[in-house]
Amino acid sequence: GAGVSQTPSNKVTEKGKYVELRCDPISGHTALYWYRQSLGQGPEFLIYFQGTGAADDSGLPNDRFFAVRPEGSVSTLKIQRTERGDSAVYLCASSLGGAKVGELFFGEGSRLTVL
């Protein structure tokens, strides 16, 4: 597709369950980012990938959160033992590789609700 695609659009789960959120970036974009956005707040950085490797994972809140990008394209954000506080919209973005490239292109996000 032409844009960043995220699935599922909405996910409702129970406390303690495991969830996976998927991001399919724009073709050719080597950088991929995950953000978390709570209601009424700005997006908070979680992790970014350059190719297959996590170049900066400083925003992951704890070891229940993990992300992979095994082939340098699609990425999966994995959350173990979900808690009610994990409820948020999870945004994915991609951009071209290389230095001094400014724009990130965002998907529509995956809304996670933990009951």
How far is residue 18's CA from residue 49's CA, in Å, rounded to a whole number? 22
Q: How far is CA 25 from the centre of its chain?
A: 11
Name which of 18 and 28 has its Cβ closer to other proteins.
Answer: 28
One residue of 60, 75, 82, 107 binding other proteins per CB under 8 A: 107
Q: Which two tokens stand for residue 89?
A: 């919209």
Distance from C-alpha of 33 to C-alpha of 64, rounded to nearest angstrom: 18
Residue 99 interacting with other proteins (CB under 8 A): yes
CB 3 within 8 A of CB 107: yes
Among 5, 20, 45, 74, binds other proteins (CB under 8 A): 45
Site for other proteins contains 65 (CB under 8 A): no
Q: Which residues of this chain interact with other proteins, rule CB under 8 A?
A: 31, 33, 40-45, 48, 50, 55-56, 59, 89, 91, 93, 95, 97-104, 106-109, 111
